[in-house]
């Protein structure tokens, strides 16, 4: 793919037709159910390392290194970071082909999501050994939940080793819109970063995927799609269908080795799209 000034991807209508088995990529999911909520209240976070377009295979997660939420404002008017790791409980997640893998869930109480504004949930998983590639993968993952439509810290950065800084609200996207972001490593833009984009093709349930795939890709390249950031780390992604989309920048983190093997530190952000009615 040529390195253009701004990388823009759109999924064509033919992706809704039947066809070949698509390729898909590793994605660390951090799924809250709904990202745009009218009222605060308890929510369940699902953490599963999988290929969301295909529905599997499901990779075994170790206990996360960190799980927390950053609220719009603390009691002093500044950001407040709340540790949620003690809430994470392991279970066996059933994939689309009835494969299973250890995933985690966290029941976040209403006391943690009760005010208006943005809640930035952050997951730092333990590095995962991908034996077929003889390397480790670690995906620093963000999902932003909004309560009541009051904007907050959705566009800020949070000192992660690598992250995607959103330039659009990840929870406020119509079908046919565009999501923009900047890939950062140690706080600096990553020129021409490799980015993968994938649609969550089935509905996540409490124990595994529910229902059938929503779409079939007529060509493998439409399952897990690849784009490049521009020279300033910026990118844009077309959003043609309602639901959840994962956007991951690959091998952009500052640490490149773990336990004597290569380490790919990736930045992942989740975007929810709403149908125009």
Answer whether 192's CB lies under 8 Å from 7's CB: no
- Taking only the tens place, the pLDDT of each residue in 246-277 is 999 999 999 999 999 999 999 999 999 999 88
| pTM tops 0.85 | yes
Answer whether 209's CB lies under 8 Å from 96's CB: yes
Dig out the tokens for 26 from the structure.
Answer: 């590793």
- Residues near 136 by beta carbon (within 8 Å), at least 6 away in sequence: 127, 128, 129, 130, 258, 259, 261, 262, 263, 264
Give residue 110's Cα distance to chain centre: 23
Q: Report all structural domains of the chain as residue ranges with CATH numbers, in order of start.
A: 7-274 (2.60.40.10)
> How high is the pLDDT of residue 73?
59
> How high is the pLDDT of residue 265?
98
Q: What percent of the chain has pLDDT over 90?
A: 79
- Residues near 190 by beta carbon (within 8 Å), at least 6 away in sequence: 162, 183, 184, 229, 233, 249, 252
At residue 3, does pLDDT exceed 70? no
């Amino acid at each position: 793919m040529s390195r253009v000034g701004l990388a823009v991807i759109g999924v064509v209508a033919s992706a809704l037709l039947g066809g070949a088995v698509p390729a898909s990529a590793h994605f660390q999911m951090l799924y809250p159910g709904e990202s745009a909520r009218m009222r605060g209240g308890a929510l369940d976070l699902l953490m599963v390392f999988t290929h969301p377009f295909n529905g599997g295979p499901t990779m075994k997660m170790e206990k996360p290194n960190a799980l927390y939420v950053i609220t719009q404002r603390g009691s002093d008017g500044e950001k407040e970071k709340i540790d949620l790791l003690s809430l994470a409980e392991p279970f066996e997640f059933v994939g689309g082909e009835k494969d299973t893998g250890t995933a985690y869930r966290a029941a976040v109480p209403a006391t943690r999501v009760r005010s208006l504004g943005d809640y930035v949930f952050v997951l730092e998983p333990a590095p995962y050994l991908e034996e077929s590639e003889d390397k480790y993968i670690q995906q620093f993952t963000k999902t932003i939940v909004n309560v009541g439509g009051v904007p907050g810290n959705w566009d800020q950065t949070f000192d992660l080793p690598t992250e995607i800084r959103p330039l659009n609200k990840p929870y406020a996207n119509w079908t046919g819109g565009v999501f923009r972001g900047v890939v950062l490593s140690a706080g600096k833009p990553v020129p021409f970063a490799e980015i993968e984009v994938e649609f969550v093709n089935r509905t996540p349930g409490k124990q595994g995927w529910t229902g059938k795939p929503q779409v079939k890709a007529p060509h493998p390249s439409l399952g897990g799609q690849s784009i490049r950031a521009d020279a300033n780390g910026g990118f844009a992604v077309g959003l043609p269908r309602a639901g959840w989309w994962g956007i991951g920048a690959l091998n952009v983190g500052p640490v490149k080795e773990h336990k004597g093997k290569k380490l790919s530190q990736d930045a992942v952000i989740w975007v929810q799209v709403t149908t125009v009615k």
